[in-house]
Chains A and B, each alone.
Chain A
């Protein structure tokens, strides 16, 4: 079993998603609804509530599965879609000069200004792309490998 930079990158990316998702899920739902409202991107309150309910679970699952190396390719596609969405959402908030002092990405843990978050998301997108292109090397020490070897 060779641990390489791609494996460490997968763990790092997974950890970011786990922390982000878990933090939002542990807090009352109303807090993340408020964050989504601040971005003024969804037309109806019910959509904001549904997003607040669903999205953190997606983050947690992607993160957890990336750490364990389960459904790695699928999770990297999901992570890619997520970070693309983040870049668009935060980018439009900056362009529209919305009155947001921090992104709300990690709840109370870390408060990051929007430009910093945008840069971070672009870097995460890049990491995701690199890991996806090198999926074989990314999948070392993973449940995917375990199940495929047994097969």
Chain B
């Protein structure tokens, strides 16, 4: 009977392994990075760049702020090597203001001021996390960057904007994004700066064109 117990154990281990691999295959089949309908205005760099980075971030996430600085340094040094596309992934469970901030950023993109707005959101991340007047603060950034306030207000109040942000997040979830920042470098997933660093170092050490 001991033999039967060992055989049962082995069969169960195979069942568990098959179950997990089957579930992964079913969930992630055909899931490559597809162009985002809301990419316009949230992309920077050279269209012919060898490194296409799609980043899923949350403007309230401290690691994302560091990631923005980190990637920004590389972008500054090698602007023709990168095409960087920002995609929203507000972690609303732990950052209550994240969705609202993402909506404002999405509206800034419509006025072609996404990246300056993005930079200010990270610079003021801590203050935005603690403020009682999040709308006031976000409007203030928009004023400083000379966004059209009426267009901004209409965009922020339009439900379609929040829907677009959440849809972008849902696409990210479908790709397996769970934490922020998550990067896809030429479709290869990397989570956090520690995950991104080896990919970038390997590329630049190899002296690739």
Task: Give me the interface of A with B, judged by CB distance under 8 Å.
Answer: 22, 25-28, 30-31, 33-35, 37, 45, 60-61, 64-65, 68, 70-71, 99, 101-102, 104, 107-108, 111, 143, 147-148, 150-151
Contact = CB atoms under 8 A, between A and B. Distances in A.
B16 A60 contact: yes
Contacts of B190: 30
B146 interface: no
B4 A147 contact: yes
A28 B176 contact: yes
A56 to B, nearest CB: 9
A70 B195 CA distance: 38
Nearest to A30: B191
Given A26-B24, A30-B182, A30-B191, 17 more contacts: A26-B27, A30-B190, A31-B176, A31-B179, A31-B182, A33-B191, A34-B191, A34-B192, A35-B179, A60-B16, A61-B13, A70-B8, A99-B63, A101-B94, A147-B5, A148-B1, A150-B4
A140 to B, nearest CB: 17
Contacts of A45: 194
B9 interface: yes
Contact of B195 (A22, A33, A64): A33
Contacts of A148: 1
